[in-house]
A and B are shown apart, each in its own frame.
Chain A
Amino acid sequence: MDEILDILINDARTPAEDIAKMTKKPVAAVKKAIKKYEEDGTIVQYKAVVNHEMAEGLSAPVRALIEVSIVPQKDVGFDHVAERIYSFAEVTSCYLVSGSYDLLLIVEGKSIQTVAEFVSSKLSPMENVRQTTTHFLLKKYKEEGKIFKQPARSSRLNISY
């Protein structure tokens, strides 16, 4: 993978000037590459990974993983049904997966009722949806490679040879 992308995936805040130093490339070249990635859709969005348990005044959304079995359509396969599903704002992620069901959704809502309502009134009644199984998330331990509650570890000495 391109080194610039690799750095940004790890920390999207890294300024172009620092990426230039890290990769021994001119700043202008780094800025140009990032702009290109933003324009061609390689970089879709920059956002923070938040531990909602820690965020005061920000109520954590209710999240559910929903397994969806669908009937693929002629010529367009799963894509068309998937598009109809992921277009709902409540669906924050949508994956086509192998195994006993077809789509794995992550759905967010303000409350359990909101999510349940989405499933019963929007998702399940869809023509090509055969079956859904909803798992509400109870606790987030790790996301995007980050462990939310770091175990206490002995800190290194501030100075050593």
Chain B
Amino acid sequence: MYVSKLVNDLPPSGIRAFFDLVMGMKDVVSLGVGEPDFVTPWHIREKAIYSLEQGCTSYTSNKGMPELRKEICAFLKSRFGLEYHWDNEMLVTVGASEALDLVCRAILEPGEKVIIHEPCFVAYAPLVKLAGGVPVPLITTAQEGFKVTPDKLERAWSKGTKAFLINYPCNPTGTSYTRAELAALAKVAQKKDMLVLSDEIYDELTYDFDHTPFSALPGMRERVVYLNGFSKAYAMTGWRLGWAAGNEKILAAMTKIHQYLVMCASITSQMAGREAIKNGRPDVLLMKKEYNRRRNYIVASLNELGLECHMPQGAFYAFPSIKSLNMSSIDFARDLLEKQKVALVPGGAFGSQCADHVRISYASSYDNLREAVSRITQYLKARNGGKEQQ
């Protein structure tokens, strides 16, 4: 009775019980993990340790250490030709999640709508709601490679829509967009005068073409709030370090909330982040090469097993259909866990229309993936065998 209705009504969804089941089980081969299996590269950790030895334990500037913000801006310029001013268009946050929370609170009036594609990361709709907004789901389908099309985006718009939230490469589908595809979406955003909240946390893990930041499209810089961080590219999930770039006014509003909320991101993480963005490119490319091989392996294996799976263009997830099994993703996940001790995430976690898909993370060693494929093969064999006897 002490909890507000708004918070009370938010999920933990029905799969919480499934998560608890996984956590309590031993010898599980997990394909359910949403973070890299690599440890943060040593030179980055070493820099953080050294900073502690030097006594760097204070607050930093609210917006983040100038040296780090300058470094991120320099990186964006050299990598994508994007120009952001380090002092008033860049904010260092506690993970990209905080940046997303900040932008929702900074831009939304009560009742304003945000279009969010589904399937999508679980936090988007709750964060919009917590900021007083209304999430409007835009359902993407396997037939379309889970892509938002300009037509669908335009139809999802209605009066009172403030923004369109896009995540690419996408958790859980791995879907990403070419420059031309993004340009078509950008036109709709301009036509309907929407802001674009672009979560590009997996940008460095784009395999089949070059990643294009949404804000790099002509005329979009002022309209896009560019969200990113260090977690996925540099295997730094536990450091909780992200950033937002965008137009000065929105960034100033976000900074206002940020300074009251957390003051600043941890100085140790910022020190590590600076080293990562300055010298971590070879590590990123090595990890990407490894993920790419695993992607090809797992997608080919799943399709071979009859679990139809489109080729994800980025991130480290495959999102196969389990329609052929005639069971819901939560039932499949539970059954597979109980019989073969393989953990994956039921699609229902990522959207109301995803109950016939599961998310498989290939942020797991080749040996683990191989073992998982072998166990899923056993599971399907036993299942088909059982059916034939009936």
Contact = CB atoms under 8 A, between A and B. Distances in A.
Contacts of B25: 158
- Chain A interface: which size bin? 10 to 19
Given A160-B35, A161-B171, A22 B296 contact: yes
Interface in B21-49: 22-23, 25, 28, 30, 32-35, 37, 39
Contact of B345 (A18, A21, A153, A161): A161
Nearest to B303: A21
A158 B22 contact: yes
Contacts of B19: 159
Contacts, number: 51
B346 to A, nearest CB: 10
B382 interface: no
B343 interface: yes
Contacts of B187: none
- Chain B interface: which size bin? 20 to 34
Nearest to B311: A24
Given A11-B366, A23-B293, A159 B23 contact: yes
Q: Describe A's contact surface by its main secondary structure.
A: loop
B257 interface: no
A48 B123 CA distance: 45
Interface string A70-107: 00000000000000000000000000000000000000
B301 A21 contact: yes
Nearest to A14: B366
Contacts of A161: 34, 121-123, 171, 345, 349
Contacts of A157: 23, 33
A7 interface: yes
Contacts of B301: 21
B277 interface: no
Interface string B276-307: 00000000000000000110110011000000
9 tightest A-B contacts by CB?
A: A159-B32, A21-B300, A22-B293, A158-B30, A160-B34, A21-B297, A159-B22, A22-B297, A161-B122
Given A21-B296, A161-B171, A161-B345, 11 more contacts: A11-B366, A21-B297, A22-B296, A24-B296, A158-B33, A159-B19, A159-B23, A159-B33, A159-B345, A161-B121, A161-B349
